[in-house]
A and B are shown apart, each in its own frame.
Chain A
Amino acid sequence: MASPTTRPGHDEVTEEPDESSGLGRRRFLTFLVAAPTLTIAAKIGFDAVSPETAEAVIPTLPGPAEILDLGDVLTLSNAATANMLVLEVMQSGKVRLQLPRCEVGQGITTATAMLVAEELDMPLSNVEVTLSDARPELLFNQLTGGSNTIRSVYGPVRQVAATARARMVATAGQQWKVPAARLSTRGGAVVAPDGRKATYASLAGPASRASLPDLVVTPKAESAHTLVGTPTSRQDARAMVTGQLDYTLDLDVPGAMPVMVRRPPTINGTVNKVNNEAAVRAMPGIIDLAVVPSGVAVMAETFGQALDGKDALDVTWNKGTVDGENNESIKKKLKAATLPFVVPPLLTQYVDAEFDFAMVSHAPLESNSAVADVRADSATIWAGLKSPIVAKQTIAAELGLPENKVTVHVQQGGGSFGRRLFWDSALEAAQISKAMKKPVRLMWSRIDDMRHGRARAASHHKIRATFALGQVLSFEHRVASAETDWGHGLGEILTSFAAKLPVGGNLSFAQTVFLLTVKSPYNFGVTTQLLNEVPLKMHTGAWRSVYSSSTRGAEEIMVDEIAAKLGKDPVAFRREFIKEPRQRAVLEKVAELGEWGKKMPKGFAQGVAVHGEYKSYTACLVEIDARDPKAPRVIRATIATDVGRPINPRGIQSQMLGGLTDAISTTLTAGLHIDKGLPLEGSYSQFHYARQKNSPPQVEVFVMPANGEPGGSGELGVPAPVGAIANAYARATGIKPRSFPINFPVDFEPFPR
C-alpha cells in the first residue's frame, strides 16, 4: 500500500490502514468522512466502498450523488402516484398509454411504447403513447427532467401493462373455462393450449367489465424480454420526415392568430410608454396590440406581419435587472465568490487551475411558443411543457381562474435541453389572450429566444489536487455560478424530501441539486466539490447535464494534468484511479475501439475522459485536428456507455450523439457574450452551435449490455466529451484550455436592441 504517512491538514492520522482485519481501513475511512463538509450516513459509506477497489489508491468516500442521486429523489417523489398511469386497450385492439412526461426528442414515447408492447406481447406498431395533459393529482410525478423518465416509469409502465394483460388473460380464461395459468399471449391475442385465440380487440370490452377479484399481476421477467433491449427506430419518425408531426404552432386552433412580442433592450426591462401605437395599428395585417409584463404584443394575420409590426414599435423602456453587467463583470463576481480551498499545498506536489465557462443558450430549434385561448371563465393552453402542473397552477393564479378551469395540453417539443422546464411562453400567451380577448398563437423570434430566453449560468471553477508518492491525496473543486433558476417545481420536490436527502446543513436548492448530481469517479483521497452561487437576475435554467458539463469537464482536464505530472498515460492513470468497475469498463472499451495511443500527425491528437451520473457510466475518446488552433475540428469520436439496462439502444446512441455535439459546440465555439445587460448573440450565425462541417465524419457509440436497472441517459452524454475534446486540444496544440468556449470572439455585427 502506497498511502503516504503524512496527510496535509490531517496529521492526526498517521498509521497505515490494517489490510488484514479491515479495521484499519474502517478507521481510515471514518477519518475521511470527518474531513469533508458533507455529512454522509456512515453505514452506507462503509458498505459502498468495496475493498478491492482501494488497494493501491487512496479511497474517496462516496459522494451524496452516489448514495441517492437527483433521479432517485425524483423517483421517490413520484412513488405515491407512480401507478396512476392511464393505459387503454381499445376495441380496435390498439393500446394507448398516456405518458405524464414531455417528448422533446429524447425518444421516451418510443421507449415506453416498447415496454408496453413487450409486456402485452403485441406488435409495437399497435401501441401509441400520447402525452398527458397537466394532471395535478399526480403531484410531483409530471416533471420531465433529471434524465429520469425511463428510471421512474420503467416499473410502473410494466406494471400497468401487465395488469391489462392479466385482466385479458383472466377474461379469456373465464370465457373458455380454462385456468389463466394455462393461457399465453402472442401477437396481440390470448392463446389457449388447444389453439383457440381471442384478440385484445375482442377482449377489451369484456375485460373492462369482468369481476376479477383474485387477479395476480407480475410483469414479465427481464430475462424473457425480446423487444426491450433491441435497437428500435422512433415511432414518430415517419411523421417527422413527412412534415406531418404537429409542434405547438402547427396546431389549428380556431381563431388563434399570430402574435409576437417586442421586448426590452436589456434583460427584464419593462414598458414605460408606447409612442406610436396608432401608426403600428394602421400597418397592413395588424389586428391588435397589447402591453404585457414582458413587452408589447402585436397580433397580425401572419407572423411575418406581426414581426414587422413589433419591429416598427417605438417604445420607451424602463431599466432591466442587470443593465450594468457584461461577461467581464460577471466573471469578476464569480471569481470573488469562489469558496477557498481547505487543503494547503504544503509538503506535497500540487496542481491548481481555474476555469471559466460562458453562458450558453438552450436554443432549441423550435423557438419559445404557445397557443392560448383565454375566456372569461376558462382557459386552454397548448405548449411544449416539462413542468405542466406548475405551469397550470401559475397560469390559473395569474388569470384569477380556479385551477380546474384551466386545461393545459402538453405538446411534443422541437428540442428543449432543459429549456421547456419553464412555461414562460405559455404564461405570456395566456396574458396576451386575456388582454386581447382573443385566442393567440405566440411565437418568440430567434433573436428574442437567444437574448431574453434561458441560458446555462456562467461559472468559475477553482480546482486543487495534491499528490505525493504517485498517489493523489486530495481533490478540491470550488464552483461559483450565476444563480440557476430552479423555480419550476424541482425546488418544491427537494423541500418535500429534504429529510431523506444525503446532504446536510442549510443548503440552497441549487447546492442540493449540485450535490445530488455531481460526483467524482476517482479515488483521489479527500474529495470535495462545492458550489457557491451569485444572485444575478437573469434568465437562467438547467442546461442538459446542468452542473456536470462544466464541473466534470474541468475535472477531466485536471485529471490529464495530474497524470502528466505523475508521468502517467491518461488512460492508464484513469484505469488505476477509477472507483467503479463499470466506469473502468467503458473507459477500456473506448480505448480499444478508438485505438488509444495510435500515432497522429503533428497538430492532431487524441483525448479521453469519463463521466458517471444517474446510475450510468460513459467514456469518450476523440481525435481532433487542431492544426489551426483557432479552427479545430473533432474528426472522430468513440463513445461507450453503460446505462444499466438499455431499453432502446438505438435511442441511447442518439442521446450520446447529441451529447457529443453539445460538447463540441460548448467546448470550442458556442457561448453568449453579455454586454450592457443583454446577450449580443441573436441567431445561429452568432451563437456558434456546431453545423455539419464541425461534426466528426466518424462516430461510434457502443452500448454496453444490460447489467442491472435502467439508469439515466438524456444528459449523460455531455460531460465526458467536454473533457475529451479539451484534452485532445491541449495535447494537439500545447495550449491548456482554461476558458470556454475556447474560441470565443465577437465575430459578428450584433442585431439592434
Chain B
Amino acid sequence: MPKYTFSVNGKSVTVDAPADLPLLWALRDKLGVRGPKYGCGINVCKACTSHLDGEAINPCVTPVSDVVGKEVTTIEGLADGDKLHPVQEAWLEQDVAQCGYCQPGQIMAAVALLKKTKNPTDADIDKIENVCRCGSYFRIREAIKSAAAKM
C-alpha cells in the first residue's frame, strides 16, 4: 500500500493507505485523531470540518493522497497547549455545546470564517452549513460574534 506523509497538528505523520481513503479515516482509524467526527460521509453535515493549510475542509471527502506535504489542523490542534483559541473560549462563555458532537466542526468552521471575515454579519454566519442536531445555532451565532469582538 502506498505511504502518504503530511503534518497533523504540527507533527509529521506517515500512513499506509489506499490513495482514495478519505482523510477522516486516516485520521480517526490509522492515527487515532478522533476530534473530527463522522456525521454523513458526503460533506453535508460538516461535523468533521478541519483545516488544510489554514482553509476549512471536510476530511470525509478529502482523499488522503491530496494532503501530502500539507498541514492538517484538527480541533485538537487549535488550542496553544492549555491556552484555548478565542473561539473555543467564546464557546465556553456562551455554553454553546449540548451533546457536543458537532461542535469541533462548528468551531473549526467559525475559526475559518473569522480568518477571512473579521466582523461577520448575520448573513455571513448564516453561510455556515454545519448541522447542529441539538439546535444550538443561536448560541453558536452569539459565540462567533463574541469571539470576533475579542479578536
Contacts and interface: CB of A to CB of B under 8 A. Distances in A.
A695 B137 contact: yes
Nearest to B123: A693
Given A241-B91, A657-B138, A691-B129, A303 B29 contact: yes
B51 interface: no
B138 A303 contact: no
Contact of B18 (A105, A284, A443, A664): A284
A697 B122 contact: yes
B1 to A, nearest CB: 7
Contacts, number: 195
A284 B98 contact: no
Given A303-B29, A654-B136, A692-B129, A241 B98 contact: no
A622 to B, nearest CB: 13
Contacts of A697: 122, 138, 141
Interface in A233-257: 233-234, 236-247, 249-250, 252
B135 A661 contact: yes
A105 B134 contact: yes
Interface in B30-69: 30, 32, 34-42, 44-45, 47
Given A302-B21, A692-B129, A695-B137, A241 B97 contact: yes
Given A250-B34, A365-B102, A242 B84 contact: yes
A650 B95 CA distance: 8
B95 A234 contact: yes
Contacts of B36: 243
Contacts of A106: 98
Contact of A367 (B39, B125, B141): B39
A366 interface: yes
Nearest to A416: B99
A684 B47 CA distance: 12
B127 interface: yes
Interface of A is mostly: loop
Interface in A687-712: 689-693, 695-697, 699
Contacts of A234: 95, 97
Contacts of A236: 97, 100
Contacts of B97: 105, 234, 236-237, 240-241
Interface in A408-462: 413-417, 443, 445-446
A141 to B, nearest CB: 23
Contacts of B129: 691-693
A365 B98 contact: no
Interface in A347-387: 363-367
A240 B100 contact: yes
B101 interface: yes
Contact of B138 (A250, A659, A695): A695
Nearest to A300: B29
A366 B134 contact: no
A683 interface: yes
Contacts of A658: 98, 134-136
Nearest to A104: B99
B112 interface: no
Contacts of B137: 661, 690-692, 695
Interface string A293-325: 000000001111101000000000000000000
B37 to A, nearest CB: 7
A415 B29 contact: no
Interface in A101-130: 104-107
Contacts of A285: 18
Contact of A446 (B41, B75, B95): B41
Nearest to A635: B122
Contacts of B92: 233, 237-238, 241
Contacts of B107: 241
B83 to A, nearest CB: 11
B38 A690 contact: no
B19 to A, nearest CB: 11
Contact of A303 (B17, B25, B104, B135): B25
A610 B26 CA distance: 49
A258 interface: yes
Contacts of B102: 365, 414
B35 to A, nearest CB: 3
Nearest to A662: B135
Contacts of A665: 135
A660 interface: yes
A752 to B, nearest CB: 13
Contacts of A305: 18, 21, 25
Given A365-B102, A691-B129, A692-B125, A657 B139 contact: yes
B133 A258 contact: no
A650 B101 CA distance: 19
Given A237-B95, A243-B104, A684-B40, A258 B29 contact: yes
Most buried by B among A302, A659, A665: A302
B100 A413 contact: no
Contacts of A691: 128-131, 137
A5 interface: no
Interface centre among B39, B127, B135 (most CB of A within 10 A): B135
A20 interface: no
A685 interface: yes
Nearest to B21: A304
Contact of A414 (B22, B79, B100): B100
A693 B137 CA distance: 9
B38 A367 contact: yes
Contacts of B84: 238, 241-242
B103 A304 contact: no
Residue among A236, A245, A363, A365 with the highest chain B CB neighbour number at 10 A: A365
Nearest to A693: B126
Nearest to B87: A241
| Most chain B CB neighbours (cut-off 10 Å) among A240, A665, A693 | A240
B76 interface: yes
Nearest to B139: A657
Interface in B73-91: 74-76, 78-79, 84, 88, 91
Contacts of B8: none
Contacts of B125: 692
A363 B41 CA distance: 14
A551 B132 CA distance: 26
A658 B135 CA distance: 5
Contacts of A243: 34-36, 74-76, 104
B28 interface: yes
Contacts of A363: 133
B24 interface: yes
A665 B131 CA distance: 12
Given A241-B88, A654-B95, A695-B135, A684 B44 contact: yes
A363 B37 CA distance: 15
27 contacts: A105-B98, A105-B100, A233-B92, A234-B95, A240-B104, A241-B96, A243-B34, A243-B76, A244-B35, A246-B34, A252-B32, A302-B28, A303-B28, A303-B29, A364-B99, A364-B101, A365-B37, A366-B101, A446-B40, A654-B98, A654-B134, A659-B135, A683-B40, A683-B44, A683-B45, A684-B40, A685-B42
Given A414-B102, A654-B134, 7 more contacts: A105-B97, A250-B34, A364-B101, A654-B98, A654-B139, A658-B98, A692-B137
Q: 7 nearest interchain CB pairs?
A: A661-B135, A243-B35, A105-B99, A414-B101, A240-B100, A243-B75, A695-B137
Interface of B: 1, 17-18, 21-22, 24-26, 28-30, 32, 34-42, 44-45, 47, 74-76, 78-79, 84, 88, 91-93, 95-104, 107, 122, 125-141
